[in-house]
Structure 1
């Protein structure tokens, strides 16, 4: 990203001065944790620094709320994935359980996979997961989803092309 694509620090500083306290309070009420609220408020203002132009924003609190909601949703989704992963490895014997660094890398990879899959239509995502995670055949997926075998093939092709970056959903 070039420096010309980044907002000038002056409007961001003004936005921060005028709205940081309000945004932090709003996030604290939503999250119930002042520390998480502080982190997400900072992430929101980092996004403001990356915005092409803050001059066009007519309703700064509405804009900040929109950005903060997206960041909060990503944060909560990541925490949910991390919790599910930790629950899954909790059943492994201690020597087989990955260490903290490996868990962090796996959690990051799961978040990236989740973000990729989120770009797919629900049925294509479900068919892909049934195939790749549960190991079902296309015929079994068709029965489970109540669709034809040819539809499952279309879902899988769409998912494969999307994940390969060849087509958008």
Structure 2
């Protein structure tokens, strides 16, 4: 557990425990990915369990019991940048934005990257999310490439759910 204190908005950052935090986690994921069916998100979350994927949550309230932000991450290696932390989604509840919670989460991810010997942090953001792009630039990130994607035909045998 990590406490990040601010005089105006105390925030508790801690690893997520899906057995305890799944409902709040799913609510934030649905806000981030409204076009993806909840059943599909649940299946994908289930598929991540047991992998090297990790997730931190930001909690506020009198008992630090209200999840207001989260970020998944992986530690990976690439030839172009060596060992790096990849931010695999990053969201702060709309009502809690501009209160410093995202910056606290980012600082925690930077600490994790340093502690685990990473040389770099990488992430993707949607081209339509100009506020997110501004946030990342304010954190010292720069645009270094383009992420291309191509949807493949959905096959239920592969666990794909529409």
Q: Report TM bin, short chain.
A: under 0.3
TM-score, length of structure 2 as denominator length: 0.26
More strand by share: 2
More helix by share: 1
More RCO (CA 8 Å, sep 6+): 2
